[in-house]
Amino acid sequence: MGKYSTSPQWADITPLPTNEGGPNPLAAIAYSDEYAETMSYLRACMAADEASPRVLDLTEDLIDMNPAHYTVWLYRAKVLIKVSEERGDLLGGLKGELEWLNEIALSHQKNYQIWHHRNMLVDKIKEVGGEGAVDVRAEQEFVERMFGLDAKNYHVWSYRQWLVKRFNLWDESKFGELEFTERMLKKDVRNNSAWNHRWYVINGNPSGGGVEQDEGVRDREVAFAKKAIEKAPQNCSPWNYLRGVVRKSGVGLGSLKGFAEQYANLEIEVEGGVRSSHALDLLADILGEEEGEGGKVKAGPARILSSCQVSI
């Protein structure tokens, strides 16, 4: 006998077992008895459109067993809102759910449904209580805590970008998003997700700005990328970032020729002349642009570019 079938609290519910194709299904899914029973009670509640505290407890049990069950999360959200409204404290119910969700997220780092649920909660908190009802700083801090467990978690980075856009966290002097990326890159300069977020914060503001419109920002970001390259010349992330900055600002790749030559000396054929294959790629593109524009490319560098094999 299971937990729900023996509980007086659930005596009024007739469970609905899963239908896998009749009494002798070809390939029945091997659910545990506990999970199968719990799901059968949720199906019955959903069929009756029940929204009650006991259904919240039921969904919590199911999430503990299978945190990736999208339908359970969706129904929990619906029930949470209705129960909280009936209690006369929708805002409190939403905030309490957010605190509960923190622990779930920390235990199940790769789960996408958790972050979809979080989006819904934060959006609803803002809708009910206004923008000031959302503790944005606490959200930023929690996300950074998640990155302490996995600094390249795609779902968490997506949520961080959503947070920036949803609450207009573009102003560095107020919200510290660039400083956050610097902390992340200080820990791992090869974290492409952190580079991508930095680009988004600088250039994603729908109101404008960024490297395309602000020369000071462009120069700062060029210097930032070059400094990162000095630490790890064979790291592709800052090279790609550097390319993006100059292209978007309209300066052109040719402005990086002297810098790239510091890491790929094409004038001499000696071991160690090329310290970064990414610098070599950049020089190839620069020389190709020069040739395409009718410029005269020196034979030596062109020959080396076409024939050298780099092993770094």
Tell me the CB-side half-sphere exposure of residue 143, using CA atoms within 13 A: 27
The partner residues of 264 in beta bridges, in order of sequence, read 274
Given pLDDT bands bounded at 50, 70 and 90, which one contains residue 269?
low
| Nearest in space to 149 (alpha carbons), one of 182, 195, 116, 103 | 103
Name which residue leads in pLDDT, 229 or 294. Answer: 229
Is the whole-model pTM more than 0.85? yes
pLDDT above 90: residue 17: no
% of residues, the chain, pLDDT over 70:
88
Q: Which two tokens stand for residue 78?
A: 């619906």
Name which residue leads in pLDDT, 251 or 83. Answer: 83
pLDDT for the residue 41: 97
Which DSSP state fits 274? B
Given pLDDT bands bounded at 50, 70 and 90, which one contains residue 311?
very low
Given pLDDT bands bounded at 50, 70 and 90, which one contains residue 57?
very high
Other C-beta atoms closer than 10 Å to the C-beta of 150 total 12
Given pLDDT bands bounded at 50, 70 and 90, which one contains residue 300?
very low
Burial of residue 168 (number of CB atoms within 10 Å: 0-12, 13-18, 19+): middle
Q: Which two tokens stand for residue 77?
A: 């959200």
pLDDT for the residue 25: 65
What does the pLDDT average to over 280-299? 76
Residue 264 phi, psi dihedral angles, 5° rounding: -150, 90
Summarised one tens digit per residue, pLDDT across range 164-203 is 999 999 998 899 999 999 999 999 999 999 999 999 999 9
pLDDT for the residue 26: 62
pLDDT for the residue 299: 47
Given pLDDT bands bounded at 50, 70 and 90, which one contains residue 22?
low
Task: Taking each helix axis as running N to C, give the angle between helix 33-47 and helix 53-65, from 0 to 180 degrees, rounded to the nearest 10.
Answer: 140
Summarised one tens digit per residue, pLDDT across range 103-160 is 999 999 999 999 999 999 999 999 999 989 999 999 999 999 999 999 999 999 999 9
Please enumerate in sequence order all residues whose Cβ is within 8 A of that of 126, keeping only pairs 6 or more positions apart, or say none. 133, 134, 166
Q: How far apart are CA 99 and CA 133, in angstroms?
A: 14
pLDDT for the residue 172: 87
Please enumerate in sequence order all residues whose Cβ is within 8 A of that of 51, keeping only pairs 6 or more positions apart, or say none. 78, 79, 82, 83
Known active-site residue 110: yes
Given pLDDT bands bounded at 50, 70 and 90, which one contains residue 274?
confident
pLDDT for the residue 198: 98
What does the pLDDT average to over 230-255? 96
Lowest mean pLDDT among 21-30, 61-70, 102-111, 173-182: 21-30
Other C-beta atoms closer than 10 Å to the C-beta of 233 total 19
Domains belonging to the chain, first-starting first, are 1-129 (1.25.40.120)
Q: How far apart are CA 264 and CA 235, in angstroms?
A: 14
pLDDT above 90: residue 21: no
Q: What's the mean pLDDT when you consider all of the chain?
A: 91
Given pLDDT bands bounded at 50, 70 and 90, which one contains residue 304?
very low
Of the listed 3, 110, 227, 298, which one is catalytic?
110
Which DSSP state fits 21? S
Cβ–Cβ under 8 Å, residues 134 and 93: no
Which ranges constitute the DSSP H helices of the chain? 33-47, 53-65, 70-86, 90-107, 112-129, 136-149, 154-166, 172-175, 177-187, 192-203, 215-231, 236-249, 257-261, 277-292, 299-307
Lowest mean pLDDT among 16-30, 37-51, 175-189, 259-273: 16-30
The partner residues of 274 in beta bridges, in order of sequence, read 264
Which DSSP state fits 66? -
Name which residue leads in pLDDT, 208 or 158. Answer: 158
